[in-house]
Amino acid sequence: MTGALTRALARGSGSPAGRGLRTSMMAAIVTLGVGIGIVVARPVVGRDVGAVRNLRAARSARETVTIVAAGDVLLDRGVRKAIAGSGARASNGASDTGGGAGGRDGLRALLSGARQLFGGADIGLVNLECPATTVAAPAAKRFVFRAEPEWLHSLRETGITDLCLANNHALDQGPGGLGDTIDAALQAGLRVVGAGHTPAAARLPQIRRFDLGPGEPELTVALLAYNLFPQEGVVFDPQRPWVCFFDPETIRDEIETARRAAGVVVVSFHWGKEFSSVPGPAQVDLAHLACDWGANVVLGHHPHVVQGIEVYHPNGGPPGSTSLIAYSLGNFVFDQGGVRAGVIDVASTSETFVLKIEVGCLNVGGPATRRTDGAENESTGLLGAEVIPVVIDGCSPVAASGENATRIIQRIAALSRAFGTFVSADGCVWIP
């Protein structure tokens, strides 16, 4: 099944029969691409570098919102041990692996190098790969994780503002554990996307509102998150906490509804094949469809390694509009430095990046643009993006420098060229 055919279905008849055909085929495509991890290579699109410009240089700070996105955060297993070690050093030898001050201080120390990465972020988004609860109710599955609720305060102190919970580990301690995680996040000053106290609540977009200053319109950002993996070992209950699973019957309406409610839409997908540096064709098609339906930014995670970045021009969007797709942000706080040694390059799980994205008014003071669905939106969208290289050292993410930084950016640039996207030596994503 080709991407062109998938997009044709998406733009086809709005009749119930045509819509059913499109969604059924989308379900088959996504199942195929995720299930067997088929990879895709896109031809490099010729670019006249002199005809593109970095909008970051042209922006005014008052007219933008900064989104800083990172990948998977695990607060258990080897990371729990690292937290205990850092906590012991912070408290003069009194190790604490629970939810007390030692554990919280340990995570704060572990994240000390990450604070600069989220500095100035209006939205700091990561994917939390474990529930945060004191109750142990492990799901019947192989890998089951749990963090301490108090540790979420250290995430907030780092500059993280939002937790994506639409993943295959959020329910590791059952619906009750997920409910505890949502409550603990709110108590720590964090917001949650892709999960809710009911399945219906989990599907709602999370709307953020930003005042751009006197005389400027309010900028709204909508966040959506979807998990593409079946949940193992937990019984579904429509009245209990749940995560937002990908549903081909509803996703288009959900993204389009979010687009009507907000000037900028960010969609997160938990998808793909672990340790693959190239997304499957189904992921590429789904990312393009999400942008065609109104997403300005698509963020991916789960592979535990970085994948390429694509600047995509949505079908049906305003003339000249662009969307940004980061197929996998890799790890951020993780313990895979020695995992699968000899099978994959160990550095690929510990050399990662943070993506800094600027969104805002594209044409400040100009007329609103009218979308193809007839709705009127301010001229808002993607302004620029920057890759910030990161090294995970002993489960602790720190900004990379020197040869490490050069190597990470070169890897991401090479992976992005397959999508016709140019990433400069200093990490700037060039947007036509």
Q: What is the pLDDT of residues 21-47, one digit of tens each?
A: 344 444 444 443 444 333 333 333 333
How much is the pLDDT for 218? Answer: 86
Query: What's the rounded mean pLDDT across residues 141-162?
Result: 97
Examine the pLDDT at 340 and tell me if it is beyond 90. Answer: no
Q: How many whole angstroms separate alpha carbon 268 and alpha carbon 295?
A: 10
Q: Are 73 and 126 in contact (CB under 8 A)?
A: yes
Examine the pLDDT at 388 and tell me if it is beyond 70. Answer: yes
Question: Strands 123-128 and 162-164, how do they pair?
Answer: parallel
Residue with tokens 């200093």: 426
Report which DSSP code applies to 344: B
Backbone angles phi and psi of 149, in degrees to 5:
-55, -35
Provide, rounded to the nearest whole percent, the portion of the chain with pLDDT above 70. Answer: 76
Looking at residue 22, its amino acid is R
Reported as a single tens digit per residue, the pLDDT across 208-241 is 999 877 777 789 999 999 999 998 999 999 999 9
Between residues 199 and 346, the one the model is more confident about? 199
Nearest to 304 by CA among 244, 359, 249, 348: 348
Q: How many whole angstroms separate alpha carbon 397 and alpha carbon 389?
A: 10
How much is the pLDDT for 101? Answer: 53
Between residues 375 and 187, the one the model is more confident about? 187
Average pLDDT, the chain: 83
**Stretch among 43-52, 172-181, 197-206 having the lowest mean pLDDT:** 43-52
pLDDT winner (highest mean) among 27-31, 217-221, 306-310, 334-338: 306-310
Reported as a single tens digit per residue, the pLDDT across 291-300 is 999 999 999 9
How much is the pLDDT for 131? Answer: 98
Question: Strands 195-196 and 191-193, how do they pair?
Answer: unpaired
Between residues 88 and 385, the one the model is more confident about? 385
Query: What's the rounded mean pLDDT across residues 271-282?
Result: 96
Radius of gyration of the CA atoms of the chain, in A: 21
Query: What's the rounded mean pLDDT across residues 295-319?
Result: 94
Q: How many whole angstroms separate alpha carbon 364 and alpha carbon 359?
A: 12
Examine the pLDDT at 109 and tell me if it is beyond 60. Answer: yes
Q: How many whole angstroms separate alpha carbon 267 and alpha carbon 264?
A: 10
Query: What's the rounded mean pLDDT across residues 180-187?
Result: 98
Q: How many whole angstroms separate alpha carbon 202 and alpha carbon 292?
A: 23
How much is the pLDDT for 23? Answer: 45
**Stretch among 48-52, 87-91, 300-304, 358-362 having the lowest mean pLDDT:** 48-52
Dihedral sign computed on CA atoms, order 107, 109, 114, 115: positive
Q: What is the pTM of this model?
A: 0.84
| H and E: helices and strands count for the chain | 11, 19
Model confidence at 346, pLDDT cuts 50, 70, 90, reads: low
Q: 291: which residues sit within 8 A by CB, 6+ positions away?
A: 298, 312, 314, 317, 323, 325
How much is the pLDDT for 90? Answer: 55
Examine the pLDDT at 378 and tell me if it is beyond 70. Answer: no
Model confidence at 97, pLDDT cuts 50, 70, 90, reads: low
**Stretch among 148-152, 260-264, 363-367, 426-430 having the lowest mean pLDDT:** 363-367
How much is the pLDDT for 62? Answer: 44
